[in-house]
Amino acid sequence: AMRMGSEVYHHLKSVIKARFGLDATAVGDEGGFAPNILNNKDALNLIQEAIQKAGYTGKIEIGMDVAASEFYKGNNVYDLDFKTANNDGSQKISGDQLRDMYM
C-alpha cells in the first residue's frame, strides 16, 4: 500500500506538471499539491489519471472526507458555492444530491 501510494503521488506530480506547469507542483504544509483547478471533479480526474499511469487501475479506491459540515446550511441543504459572498444560491443541493455527486 505504501509503495502504491508513493508511486501514484509521483505520477500525480507529473500529471499536474504536464497540465499546469512546474509551479503547480509546489507542495503545501500537509504535503499536497494545489494546482489551479476549477472544481472537485477536476481534482478527482487528476488522481484517477495518476492511478492509471502508475498501473493501479482497479486496485486503488479513493476515499474522501469532503468536510461537508463546512458548507451545510441546515434543512438538508448544502451550498457548494459557500466561499462566495452573497452567492445567488444556484449551487445549493440536497444531501442526496451531494452523496450522488461523490459516488
CB 5, CB 54: distance < 8 Å: no
Residue 75 is predicted with a pLDDT of: 96
Residue 63: left (phi > 0), alpha (psi -120 to 50), or beta? Answer: beta
The number of C-alpha atoms within 13 Å of 51 and in the hemisphere containing its C-beta is 14
Residue % of the chain over a pLDDT of 90:
70
CA distances 77 to 6, 8, 65, 94, 96, Å, are 37, 35, 18, 5, 10
What are the residue ranges spanned by the domains of the chain?
Answer: 2-53, 68-102
Report the mean per-residue pLDDT for the chain.
Answer: 92
Task: Supply the pTM of this predicted model.
Answer: 0.75
C-alpha cell at 86: 452573497
Residue 59 is predicted with a pLDDT of: 98
The pLDDT-based confidence of 73 (bands split at 50, 70, 90) is very high
Residue 66 is predicted with a pLDDT of: 86
Q: State mean pLDDT over 84-99.
A: 91
